[in-house]
Chain A
Amino acid sequence: MTHLTDDHIAAWAAGELAPAERDALEAHADACADCAARLSAGARAEEAMYEVAAASAARAPSGTGWRWPLAGLALAAAALIAVGLSQRPAETTESHDGAARVDVSVECMSAPDLHTCEADALRRGLMTESGRIPRYDRAVCVGCGRDS
């Protein structure tokens, strides 16, 4: 068998191959380290699809979900320290003035509205130095403390 193609790997991950084809692909990956690594990456991407679907479905009715109106906002990394949050920032970039900035993910997929989330965040002392924007870690909305 020749090396696995991306299409082949995607079809395997999605469970779309016939059993014989699936077995041949897996046998190849068992014997070929390069293809095994690519198959593993394909499997991770497929697993991520379940997380995306779950997160999407957890938002308020499709398309009408409430979002923070601040997507893409960059805040000084120091703001994270200011509120004592220790999680790794989502994405750090260098801004034009040379300071490290964090691209903040500002989608809250569980809070019913801005007021609720802000009120909860304030109560828990979790506002950033801007005084306006609750922060979120990877799995939990820090503002309201609910799973997102």
Chain B
Amino acid sequence: MAGSTEARALRGDDAAWNALVQAHDHRVVVALVARGARPCEARECAQEAWMRLVQQQREGRLAELQLPGLAIRQARFIWLERCRRAGTVVPLDGLREPADGAGSEDRMLDRARLGRTLRALDRESDRDRALFEAAYGGEGPSHADLADRFGLSLQRTRQILSEVRQRLKAALGDG
């Protein structure tokens, strides 16, 4: 589904672009805030990133559209440029690549924390683990999509995800 929306966006369909922005914009903002941007800067950079992507598509310079990774990289680039121009010191986290970026050498988690969190995930039921993997699996499905797919109510879907997340974040060690 996400694939076909991206294909339509690549053909210049405005409605498809709007749907993609709607689906991924907040993730882009969170990724920048995680790297040290203030929320207002993150919103501005995300917006500029989307505008540049649309412009690139209109100029025929966008062959592929892998979201949200591409938008996160574009927004991060814009933010780093702003920091450089303003002479702001970029926090170390700002240099990290997005989790699903091509250059994944530098991740949020070191191996020890990743291992610890994976072991916590293994303690979840099969269904809850599958739900978590689907929710955070990259294509950015909505909670309503997930509820449909797993035969759960929307409220129950959110509750399960919230509980799993809480346990994993506790295993992560920083709340």
Interface residues of A (CB under 8 A from B): 6, 10-11, 13-16, 22, 26-27, 29-30, 36, 39-57, 62-63, 71, 88, 90-91, 103, 105, 107, 136-139, 147
* Docked complex Cα distance between A40 and B108 (Å): 12
List of 5 A-B pairs having minimum Cβ-Cβ separation, nearest first: A53-B136, A90-B112, A43-B34, A26-B39, A43-B33
* Docked complex Cα distance between A75 and B119 (Å): 20
Contacts A30-B40, A139-B107 known; 10 new A-B pairs at CB < 8 A? A40-B36, A44-B108, A47-B108, A48-B108, A49-B169, A50-B99, A53-B133, A71-B119, A105-B114, A107-B118
Chain B 132-161 against A: per-residue CB contact (8 Å), 1 yes, 0 no?
A: 110111100001000000000000001001
Count B-side interface residues using an 8 Å CB cutoff: 51
Kindly list chain B residues whose C-beta atoms are within 8 Å of the C-beta of A137.
Answer: 111
Q: Quick one: which of A46, A88, A103, A138 contacts B34, CB cutoff 8 A? A: A46
A54 contacts B138, C-beta separation under 8 Å: yes
B104 close to chain A: CB less than 8 A = yes
Chain A interface, >50% SS class? helix
B126 contacts A147, C-beta separation under 8 Å: no
Query: Count the A-B residue pairs with Cβ separation under 8 angstroms: how many?
Result: 136
* Docked complex Cα distance between A27 and B34 (Å): 17
> Which chain B residues numbered 51 to 73 have a C-beta less than 8 Å away from chain A?
none
B111 contacts A52, C-beta separation under 8 Å: no
Kindly list chain A residues whose C-beta atoms are within 8 Å of the C-beta of B43.
Answer: 26
B130 close to chain A: CB less than 8 A = yes
Smallest beta-carbon distance B171→chain A, Å: 9
Smallest beta-carbon distance B161→chain A, Å: 7
Interface residues of B (CB under 8 A from A): 26-27, 30-31, 33-34, 36, 38-40, 43, 93, 98-100, 104-105, 107-115, 117-119, 121-122, 126, 129-130, 132-133, 135-138, 143, 158, 161-162, 165-166, 168-169, 172, 174-175
Q: Quick one: which of A36, A45, A51 contacts B38, CB cutoff 8 A? A: A36
Kindly list chain B residues whose C-beta atoms are within 8 Å of the C-beta of A14.
Answer: 161-162, 165
* Docked complex Cα distance between A15 and B146 (Å): 15
Kindly list chain A residues whose C-beta atoms are within 8 Å of the C-beta of B38.
Answer: 29-30, 36
Q: Quick one: which of A27, A88, A107 contacts B115, CB cutoff 8 A? A: A107
* Docked complex Cα distance between A54 and B110 (Å): 14
Smallest beta-carbon distance A130→chain B, Å: 18
Kindly list chain B residues whose C-beta atoms are within 8 Å of the C-beta of A51.
Answer: 99, 107-109, 114
Kindly list chain A residues whose C-beta atoms are within 8 Å of the C-beta of B132.
Answer: 49, 53, 56
Most buried by B among A22, A43, A91, A105: A43
A44 contacts B174, C-beta separation under 8 Å: yes
B174 contacts A45, C-beta separation under 8 Å: yes
